[in-house]
Amino acid sequence: MAMLEVTSLGISFGGLRAVDELSMKIEKGGLVGLIGPNGAGKTTVFNMLTGVYRPTDGGIRLDGQNLIGKKPHEICRLGVARTFQNIRLFGGLTVLDNVKTGLHNEITYSLAESLFHLGGYRKKERQMDEKAMELLEVFGLGNVAGYQASNLPYGKQRKLEIARALATDPKLLLLDEPAAGMNPNETGELMETIELVRERFGVTVLLIEHDMKLVSGICEYLYVLNFGRLLAEGTPAEVLKNPEVVTAYLGE
């Protein structure tokens, strides 16, 4: 059975049908791309998968469990983490605290322990520090742990967002245009990071991307969306040869 199963998913905003009859299957450990021209509904799909939008029809199942109607924070606890197209960090917090916030449901202690700094507070905080630093080191952010997140350069903010998402210990990681605004060097580095993340943390990755080099370089399977409908699916080589896909991207 596939890990993520999306069946004839659809959503309407008033009269606008943003996504229609979308079906996807993602196997555990896969690295799958979701591509399509601007406005095709890719981010809307992510928003439905993470509970930000409630689909008008269709179903989403993660390891057989229904995700429809669940709140975003509940879906996160079930093992779906994401990053955002326009970076959404906790700008006022330090880099380290951003990742520690991601560990919110991984290492827990009560409100009373928070208020009085008693009981497990010290031990749990130390565990959090260690685990967060470990994650930051993976992304080469260890030396900036104490900096305010909003002071980081763009590329590092993207990495920090991925680190924060991984802190929630997800089964499925959704990356929304991770390479947006990056130069070719940074994109190359990012590709390596994504591969590394998949191996090291054993997560399944679904990513939205425009950078064809990145998509064809690392994705095993692609879904192409156009005007909210599935246009094509298959391996990168198959999909990129598909005349319909070429037309959707380049026009007639």
Partner 1 sequence: MQKLKKYAATKAGRDAIISFGIVIIAFIVMQALLAADMVSSLLEGLLVPICAYVVMAVSLNLTVGILGELSLGHAGFMSVGAFSGIVAATCLSGTGAPEPVQLAVSIVIGGICAAIAGVIIGVPVLRLKGDYLAIVTLAFGEIIKNIVNVLYVGLDSSGLHFSLLEQRFELAEDGEMIINGAMGVSGVSRLSTFVSGFVLVLITLLLILNLINSRAGRAVMAVRDNKIAADSIGISTTRYKLMAFVISAAFAGMAGTLYGLNYTTTTANKFDFNTSILILVFVVLGGLGNIWGSVIAATLLTVLPEMLREVGDFRMLIYAILLIAMMLFNNSPLKQRILEKRGMKQMEKLEKAEQSGKEGA
Task: Write the single-letter amino acid at 53.
Answer: Y
Task: Output the six-digit token pair for 67.
Answer: 């995700």
- Identify the three-state secondary structure at position 78: coil
Give the helix/strand (H/E) hosting 229: strand 229-234
**Phi and psi angles of residue 94, each rounded to the nearest 5 degrees, phi first:** -75, 165
Which of residues 41 and 102 has its CB atom nearest to partner 1 in the complex?
102
Eight-class DSSP state of 150: G
Residue from 93, 133, 145, 180 in contact with partner 1 (CB under 8 A): 93
Q: Which stretch binds partner 1 (CB under 8 A): 70-78, 190-198, 201-209, 236-244?
A: 70-78
105 binds partner 1 (CB under 8 A): yes
Q: Please state, in angstroms and rounded to a whole number, the distance separating the CA atoms of residues 165 and 102.
A: 6
Residue from 1, 111, 237, 250 in contact with partner 1 (CB under 8 A): 111
124 binds partner 1 (CB under 8 A): yes
- The per-type count for the chain, helices as H runs and strands as E runs, is 10, 10
Task: Output the six-digit token pair for 21.
Answer: 């009859």
126 binds partner 1 (CB under 8 A): no
94 binds partner 1 (CB under 8 A): yes
201 binds partner 1 (CB under 8 A): no
Give the helix/strand (H/E) hosting 159: helix 154-167
Q: Name the minimum Å distance from CB 128 to partner 1.
A: 8
Binding to partner 1 (CB under 8 A): which residues in 4-43? none
Buried b (16+ CB within 10 A) or exposed e, 216-230: bebbebbbbbbebbb
Give the torsion sign (CA, 13, 18, 20, 23). Answer: negative
Q: Which stretch binds partner 1 (CB under 8 A): 11-19, 53-61, 95-103, 186-194?
A: 95-103
171 binds partner 1 (CB under 8 A): no
Which of residues 109 and 249 has its CB atom nearest to partner 1 in the complex?
109
143 binds partner 1 (CB under 8 A): yes
163 binds partner 1 (CB under 8 A): no
> Which residue carries 């499925």 as its tokens?
172
63 binds partner 1 (CB under 8 A): no
Query: What is the size of the binding site for partner 1 (CB under 8 A)?
Result: 48
Of 227, 224, 210, 206, the C-alpha closest to 60 is: 206
Q: Which stretch binds partner 1 (CB under 8 A): 24-32, 92-100, 182-190, 225-233?
A: 92-100
Give the torsion sign (CA, 236, 161, 60, 19). Answer: negative
Contact residues toward partner 1 (CB under 8 A) are 50, 52, 71-73, 76-77, 81-82, 84, 88-94, 97, 100-102, 104-105, 107-109, 111, 113-117, 121, 124-125, 128, 143-144, 146-148, 151-153, 164-165, 167-168
